[in-house]
Amino acid sequence: MPFGFVTRTYLDQRLEDLRREVERGRVTEDQIAEWIDSAFKKIELEWALWQKKLLTLVASMGKQNKKAAERVEVEGDLERDGPGPEVDEPPPRALFRSRRGF
C-alpha cells in the first residue's frame, strides 16, 4: 500500500491481525519487527521521492520568477507604460457561433 494511502484504520486493522497471528503462534515477534522495519524503509523511500519532487518544483518556480522579474526589467513597468492597444469586441452572434461545439 503506497504511503499516501495508508490510513489510521488500516494500521489499526493490521496491528490487530498481527496480534492474532502472534497469539496463534503463526508469526513471531522477530517477523513483526522485520515487517515494521521494511514498512519504515518503504515510507522513508517514498518520502524521499516526494521531497525530491517538491524541491524540484520549488527550484523550477524560482527560476520562472527570476525570468519574469528580468523580463519586467527589460520591457518596463506595464502600469507605468499605459494601457494596451484597443481591441474590437466581436458581435454577440459571432461569439455564439464560435462556441457551438462546446
d(CA 34, CA 32): 5
Its pTM stands at: 0.43
Question: Does residue 90 form part of some domain?
Answer: no
d(CA 61, CA 33) in angstroms, rounded, equals 42
Query: Mean pLDDT across the chain, nearest whole number?
Result: 78
Percent of the chain with pLDDT over 70: 68
Q: How many CB atoms lie within 10 A of CB 14?
A: 14
**Which residue segment(s) compose the domain that 15 sits in?**
3-75
The cell 496480534 sits on which residue? 19
pLDDT in tens, 51-64: 999 999 999 999 99
85 in any annotated domain: no
Give the C-alpha separation, 83 to 96, whole Å.
28
- In this predicted structure, the answer to whether residue 1 has a pLDDT above a threshold of 60 is no
Query: Residue 23: inside a domain, yes or no?
Result: yes
Domain-located, residue 48: yes
Domain count, the chain: 1
